[in-house]
Amino acid sequence: MSQTQQQDETKDEALGFFDKPNNVKWILWVFYALCIVLVALDFVVHRHIYLDYEKIPTFYALYGFLACVLLVVAAKWLRLLIMRDEQYYDKNEEEKPFENEGSN
């Protein structure tokens, strides 16, 4: 396969399903709709309640959303603390043997 052909192919492919912004938009709209339906269901369906927290309307949805936002924000802060460059551990690893005594 020649170079140009390969490039052509990638160009053709570039119009794959997920590359069209409209398709992605559609998927997201369906997703939003499902989220709304799930929240709506929470008021229709009677849930079993075991704990006090669960009495809060749409507790699980709120918890899921907040948990993830919190997680990501915390992780971003964590990055400041623990992120190092990729060769971090490999530096300073060459060393001479400690003792060199006799041969054989």
> Residue 59 burial by CB count (10 A; 0-12/13-18/19+): exposed, middle or buried?
middle
Residues near another protein (CB under 8 A), total: 57
Asked if residues 41 and 60 have their Cβ atoms less than 8 Å apart, the reply is no
Residue 43 interacts with another protein (CB under 8 A): yes or no = no
- Check residue 15 for interaction with another protein (CB under 8 A): no
Residue 35 binding another protein, by CB under 8 A: yes
CB of 67 to another protein, least distance (A): 4
Q: What burial letters (b/e) apply to 3-18, b meaning 16+ CB within 10 Å?
A: eeeeeeeeeeeeeeee
Say if residues 80 and 74 touch (Cβ distance below 8 Å): no
Decide: is 26 part of the binding site for another protein (CB under 8 A): no
Among 3, 14, 55, 94, indicate the residue that binds another protein (CB under 8 A).
14
SS3 4: helix
| Residues of this chain that bind another protein (CB under 8 A) | 10, 13-14, 16, 18-19, 28, 31-32, 34-35, 38-39, 41-42, 45, 47-48, 50-51, 53, 58, 60-69, 71-76, 78-79, 82-86, 88-90, 92, 97-104
